[in-house]
Structure 1
Amino acid sequence: MNSISRHDVNTLLRQVQGNSLFNRQLSSVCQVNGLKSTGVKAELQRRIVHRDFSFKPSPFYSVESAVSGLRTFMTQHRNTVTIPLRLSDHPILQRCSDDKSYRIMVFCANDDSGLQDVAFPHQSELRVNGDEIKANLRGLKNKPGSTRPVDITNALRLRSNYMNNIEFTYALTNKKFYLIVNLCKTTSVTELVATISSRRKISEDSVISELNKIAQDPDVVATSQVLSLKCPLSYMRLEVPCRSLSCTHLQCFDATSYLQLQEQGPQWLCPICNKSAPFDQLAVDGYVKVILEKTSKNLETVTIEPNGKWSSKPPKEDSSPSRPRGAPVEDDEDDDLEVSEIIIGGRRLETPKKLSHCTDTPSSGGRDHSSTAPRGSHSAKRPAPAVIDLTLSSDDEEPIQRPSKRQHTYTYHRGTTPPWLSESPVNHQP
């Protein structure tokens, strides 16, 4: 049998993926050769797309095998895609019962070339055997790649002849989406933290060397800095101090808290400097780890000197200026209060009234000391408290006499014209 050239294969692929090869042409070819003649083009397209279709890798799972065909859909109306799944058709699903780290997940993407991010239509829902799967199908707003595949393992009935129905409903989309169900091997956060702790670390000597290099730079004024021993994500004390190899700051985040956050919505950005911090670039900071081992768990911050030495004492602050000699001392004592009486409904109430302090008058030398008031007492007597009776009726009050209006008078002699009649309109003709 003669081999087919690479050029002919590529030409056939372009024809199958495009619209230049019609179904009736494929059907006639299959009928001549005694093969199945219905749905041939769709099956060829599915196999070609499935061969090159893959998702971006994740440290939390790895795709072991596809357990369904690739479904392509695009419509501007509401539609449902149904995928049947039975254990007898896919014996590999038995791994989910034997090992809980194997999970069945639903993946979706809006492109078919290259590595794909998980992306579901904006308006969509997923049901397994009639029960709705509660999952975040949108991810973070305006953050592509922050959507996770949907784990449907617990909703499936993995019995030999039981037919599970996976229903994916979508609406109002003008893009082409691709849906597939995969068997995945998952990795827990604890295992990933152990992996980070066992591989390359940021050594203590390298951190001290970098601090000394910055301190010797003539263009930089190096001062002491405060290092927090709390994770900026969980606000708990660091257990596994971690940062990316590309980060230039000394502050670390906790590896467990960071991975738990990425498991919910993968972004892989440093929470301190917002630089890229993928899993393969994460490393334990040996300098901060030594500080955590040598300090009490109640300590929250340490002071880092420019030469790399650290201490648990806070940095020295400028002492407040002392009070000038002879300056008056502020009096924090409460002001004197005078209580006035108010009678409401036959009951007597007391209300406080603030009084200002009186200044003592120094006694003259010629006066008798016995007649002078003691220091600190008031020279004048307090006025008697005012008593207001609110039980009186308004009818008992005396009417208020308003002053009469002042009338304007003008005196003029007989034979003269009043001033308001003396003026006539301009150019008036009698």
Structure 2
Amino acid sequence: MMDLLLRRTLWRRNSLFVHEDPDVKFTKLPFYECVSELMQPKPLVAEWFCESQTNYFKFVLSSEHSKILDENRKLNTCTDCEYTIQIQVRFCMLGIYLEQNDCFPKNLCVHVNGKIVTLPCGLQSGDVRTQRPGCPLDITSLCHLSRSHPVSNQIKVSWEDSQNFCVTVLLVKKFKINAMLGRLKQSGFRDANNTKTTIKHKLPSDADCEIISTCLRTSLICPLSMKRMEIPIRTESCTHLQCFDAQTFLRMNIEKSVWRCPICDKPAPLNQIVIDGLLVEILKETVDINEIQFNENGSWSPVESSENVVHYNSAKRKSGIEDLGFSHFSSESPPKKSKVDVIDLTLTSDEESNDQEWIPFQPVYSIDHFFH
């Protein structure tokens, strides 16, 4: 009885914030551009007397939308196809004033036209929710399309959660990596002189450091791919000079949306990423050089010696990636490893060096030997 009263109280409290058409704003997704809103954000209304909640929604695809979807699909196999224009379902917490990130209700289960939707991380809807970041669900292949007339599609949402959520359906355009790199080159290019100014300000501030004296070293190797960078980037708020490769960073966030700097672990949204113009010039001028050093006047020079090992911060970040961090280096060479004596068992006694003490071979007898 007390349990029912508690659930009813929670339902009444939560229902005060539930509106028929809530004014909810979803965060903009870097890889997608909204073409049309097929269904405005709708609240997931929970009934106080039920543990498992179920709501039904409908959205209509016009003949024009069906035509766009049909013309912008690419056949990968005989039975599978990829849509560059997609229909997405997005979930978020029911908030009013701030932009809401994608978030799944507990024990979410989604059906589109009677077919189950596969949730990310390899879990099918209906399984117990694990800790996974919310993301849009692509339901394009499950929708009814018709070029001749508008067609209705039904969504069934089941969940178990005492908090308020909302759901929306969008028609979006998916950007390719090359297109995003082109947009980044147009809007996020940082002049080489700005980096030189940063170097001049950074070195005097580190003058009292016990390790560094008059130069800074950084690597031309991307800490994510462990290959030479092609388009070096970092965020505007990053204080380090070390960069990472743009294409690798974008591909990583397509598979797992993290958007954090792999060096300092600060947030790295796409609108704050800039291309380092100075490192772009250096990468063009150097082919076999993987490490450089910056001088006090802002100039740079390659570090060709193989003994100069770049030290990275190998601590695991929250994103789950072992990152390489930028650090200052001393002029001292790294400590040499202690010499280990190796015995070559393939050599005969004559071929061994004279300075080694020869130990005669002593046969090992079994117990039976002493009883004969």
Indicate which of 196, 204, 207 corresponds to 2:184. Answer: 196
Query: Do 1:120 and 1:138's aligned partners in 2 also have CA atoms closer than 8 Å?
Result: no
**Structure 1 residue corresponding to 2:112, chosen from 128, 136, 139:** 128
Say which of 82, 95, 102 aligns to 2:85. 102
**What is the deviation of 1:320?**
8.9
Task: Quote the Cα distance in structure 2 between the aligned partners of 1:215 and 1:103.
Answer: 50
Q: CA contact under 8 A between 2:38 and 2:61: conserved in structure 1?
A: no
Please report how far the alpha carbon of residue 285 of structure 1 lies from its aligned counterpart in structure 2 after TM superposition: 0.7
Residue 250 (1) aligns with residue 221 (2): no
- Indicate conservation of the 8 Å contact 1:137/1:147, yes or no: no
| Secondary structure, aligned partner of 2:226 | coil
Q: Write the mapping of 1:81-100 to structure 2, written as runs, cut at 5 A.
A: 81-87=55-61, 91-99=64-72, 100=83
Q: Distance in 2 between matches of 1:271 and 1:207?
A: 20
Task: Give the structure 2 partner of residue 424 of structure 1.
Answer: none
Q: 1:294 aligns with which of 285, 293, 296?
A: 285
Q: Are the equivalent residues in 2 in contact too, given 1:122–1:138 (CA < 8 A)?
A: no
Render the CA deviation track for 1:170-199: whole Å, top value 9, x for unaligned. Answer: 22x111211221112332232111111123
**Which residue of 1 is the match for residue 44 of structure 2?**
72
Distance in 2 between residues matched to 1:157 and 1:334, nearest whole Å: 86
Distance of aligned partners of 1:311 and 1:91 in 2 relative to their CA distance in 1, 3 Å threshold: closer
DSSP-derived class of the 1:338 partner: coil
Q: Which has the higher contact order (CA 8 A, sep 6+)?
A: 2
| Structure 2: distance between partners of 1:156 and 1:332 | 82
**TM-score under structure 2 normalisation?**
0.67
For the residues of structure 2 that align with 1:343 and 1:110, how far apart are their CA atoms?
78
Distance in 1 separating the partners of 2:334 and 2:100: 60
Residues 303, 311 of structure 1: 8 Å contact kept: yes
Contact 1:93 1:183 in 2 (8 A): no
Give CA deviations for 1:408-429 in whole Å, capped at 9, x if unaligned: xxxxxxxxxxxxxxxxxxxxxx
> Which structure's CA Rg is the greater one?
1
Q: Deviations over 1:196-227 (max 9, x none)?
A: 11234222222223223333445455343432
Are the aligned partners of 1:343 and 1:391 in contact in 2 as well (CA < 8 Å)? no
- 2:167 equivalent to 1:179: yes
Distance 1:199 1:193 in 2: 10
Equivalent position amino acid for 2:46 in 1: M
Report how far residue 152 of structure 1 moved. Answer: 1.0
Q: Gapped runs of 5+ residues in structure 2?
A: 1-14, 73-82, 124-128, 309-330, 337-352
C-alpha displacement at 1:113, in angstroms?
0.6
Pair 1:207–1:185, CA change in 2 (3 A): same
Distance of aligned partners of 1:304 and 1:112 in 2 relative to their CA distance in 1, 3 Å threshold:
closer
Structure 1 alignment gaps of length 5 or more: 1-16, 20-41, 322-329, 345-387, 393-430
User: Alignment partner of 2:280: what SS?
Assistant: helix
Fraction of identical pairs, as percent: 24
1:337-396 deviations in Å (ceiling 9; x for gaps):
32325257xxxxxxxxxxxxxxxxxxxxxxxxxxxxxxxxxxxxxxxxxxx61666xxxx
* The 10-residue stretch of structure 1 (192-201 or 159-168) with the greater mean CA deviation from structure 2: 159-168
Residues 86 and 158 of structure 1 are in contact (CA less than 8 Å); yes or no, is this contact kept in structure 2?
no
| Cα pair distance change 1:91/1:309, threshold 3 Å | closer
One-letter amino acid of the structure 1 residue matched with residue 194 of structure 2: S
